[in-house]
Chains A and B, each alone.
Chain A
Amino acid sequence: MKLTVSGKFLSTAACVMLALSAPALSVAGDTIKFGIAGPHSGDLASYGLPSAAAAKLVIDKVNANGGINGKKIEILKEDDVCKPEIATNTATKLVSSGVEVVLGHICSGATIAAMPIYKDAGILVMSPSATSDELTYSGRYPNFFRTIAPNAMQSPAMVDFAINKLGLKKIAIIHDKGDYGKPLAEGAKTYVEKNGKGQVVLFEGITPGAMDYSAIVQKIKESGAEVVIFGGYHPEASKIVSIMNKKRLKTKFVSDDGVKDDTFIKVAGEDAEGVYAAGPQDNSANPLALKAKEEHKAAFNSDPGAFYEGAYAATMTMLNAIEKAGSTKLEDLKKVLQSEKVDTPVGSINFDSKGDAIGVGFSMYVVEKGKYVVAK
């Protein structure tokens, strides 16, 4: 009896030893394996290919200078077509071919599906584009980092803008009762109440697709709100702003990324003028972003696509972490990522304990003469 137990114990111990030694073994190889996961084919390929291009440009530069700590970096690319069910295969493939860090995945759904596999293998993953709150706020994925701001950060961005920049204190918060708009509106409400500088005078959900929003607009007026914060998409937003104008309401309208869409301006027409919306951070003034863009032009003779800057930044920070830590163990990498700032195209960033980049956020845009421009 005792013998068998100890036999089992021994074999378990051997397995643990083997598992622990596996990453160490791969470090002992003569290249650093850098995984890239995302949609590289299919209809969402335009979201994934720019990231792969960014990683390649950064890595080629590093390799040309002799690599990191004497080792060259090897790229392993896997396609997940943005589908959760395929992303798990992608992740398994990358893990079994011994990648040490992964840039990706691109879509939130695919990333969430793939994360447990990387987590079990203790591999650092950094996404340039997955914005789902769950990835960092749930605390379930300690090996996940990202160079894009999570959805939830839009709420504070909208509220801060309304209170600090526009100087408006009485806030009406309206949402479309949907999965995207409602959490944003609730986030904004909690933030206003916690922050104490403003006051929520109205908090309501509207029925999306309704034919007329004049009653809710009258209610906004009656509430004495100086600014409306709207969580939802552009069809409702454009109906509301057009009725607000018809009712001669001068209340400002601040909304989210779902409204920062050119269709909103097209549909709302003149009523869109002066509407504020949150959108991904504007990096156009960052010299590193300009340089990264030039590199892309030189290499591919075209302008970079979506999430290029974020992927560029993610590759830079990950390589920097490997270099400074002198290993690819998750704990060592995390320490460097969290403590050391790196100058990247999305700003000088390090990461908080959840895995979100500090200093990456949302910018506020305003519609001026039929175009979204950065609000000052």
Chain B
Amino acid sequence: MRDLFRFLYRIRSTLMFLGWLILSFILLYNGNEHHRAHAISSSNAVVGTIYGWRKDITDYANLKEVNKALADENADWRNRHISTYTPVEGLFARIQDTIHRQEYRVITAKVVNSTWHKPKNQLTLDKGTRAGVHGDMGVIGPDGIVGVVRDASPNFAAVISVLSPEIKTSVQMRRTGHFGLLFWDTNDPLTSSVIDIAKHARVAVGDTVETRGGDGIFPAGIPVGVVESVEDAPGSNYHDITVRLSEDMTRSGFVYVVDDLHRAERDTLQQANER
């Protein structure tokens, strides 16, 4: 018995090492899964604040570009606004729209930190649960999809970038309606792959890929990218499609977090259905 204790004492640093290693592996395997809230992320208040300082400084460098992008976007919205349409005849007046109901609400947020050159990339936003941002909400930029909220604290949110194999987004070809999954395995911040589109579907270079919607994360029809190449590996039933992402992930300013107003309703229905 005493020998055993002596032996354990002699290898105590190895035992401590194994203890720490096991602890870190528990974190690694339990904390990193998508669709699970966890504490160790950049939505942490201290971390978010520090990234916020940096952003406050670096913001000045690209104010001009950001202003231009926002102005362009404003113009685009203005073009769609009701006041730009003159009634063809004076007979119809729009009083209250009961046919359309609002399905999505967007929350603007600033990207305070982002990566794009790692095997798994992420972003940190300056809005959190206080502004209505919660886990599993979609994040879109002015030009296309950006990612999915992993975790939110009162003032910050950690977002899994589309440049990460952790998320697979349901997408479809705008022209033909064939759907597949957007999966980032290209390791290139400008492109991504679309998998699970069967070979009989006609996909051409230059086709637009958009979100399919219905998953409660992204609305349907948000641009994702443009098909850059289609390859058919022998022995596979699916196309090997590479798309050029429409949102430039290497540059980020303002983004919109999409809140699906009917999500709770749909989720309860689906859960009841599964039971």
Binding partners A and B: no
